[in-house]
Amino acid sequence: MAKIYYQYMTQAGYDAIEQQISALKQQRPAKVARLKAARALGDLSENTEYSTAKRELRHLDSRLRYLNKQLQYAKIMTPTDTKTVEIGTTVTITYLDDAEEVTYTMVGHQEADLAEHKLSYASPLGSAILHQPTDTICTIVAPAGTYQVKINHISL
């Protein structure tokens, strides 16, 4: 029996994928109509409108399949307490090399966005602080080098 690997994510991440699927499904009829109209123009071997419409529809269908797989294997993580860093918790850390304090929300890797301070649990920093309690000093081994952070505060 094959082992199932889940895509861990927050409820917000799951909802965002559902919204993307809904938006793509709304675009699909227009793409199909465009393909039919381009096909009606005649010779398909030299019809760039047909080739473009076909490629766009293939891309949309591929994206829908990918997003549906994300939901099929999704496991929504709900944090249970503020004793340790979990997916869905908000954590404030201090980088010990320059004393910079930053607050991140731990999320699934498909939700990660550092501009919005959403940190993937699978990133070097995220995996180092995951399941760690407050006041822990963690050493992060990243491609750019090794550094340390201190976990200051954990909240839901």
In this prediction, residue 48 has a pLDDT band, given cuts at 50, 70 and 90, of confident
Where are the CATH 1.10.287.180 domain residues in the chain?
A: 7-76
Cβ burial 51-65 (10 Å sphere, 16+ → b, else e): eebbeebeebeeebe
Considering the segment(s) 7-76 as one domain, its CATH architecture is: Orthogonal Bundle (1.10)
User: Across all residues in the chain, what is the average pLDDT?
Assistant: 89
Class of domain 90-155: alpha beta
Confidence grade of residue 38 (pLDDT, cut at 50, 70, 90): confident
**pLDDT score recorded for residue 21:** 96
Looking at residue 44, its pLDDT comes to 66
Is residue 4 scored above 70 in pLDDT? no
**Bridge pairing between strands 90-95 and 100-107:** antiparallel
Q: Where in the chain is the domain with CATH 3.10.50.30?
A: 90-155
62-74 pLDDT tens trace = 999 999 999 999 9
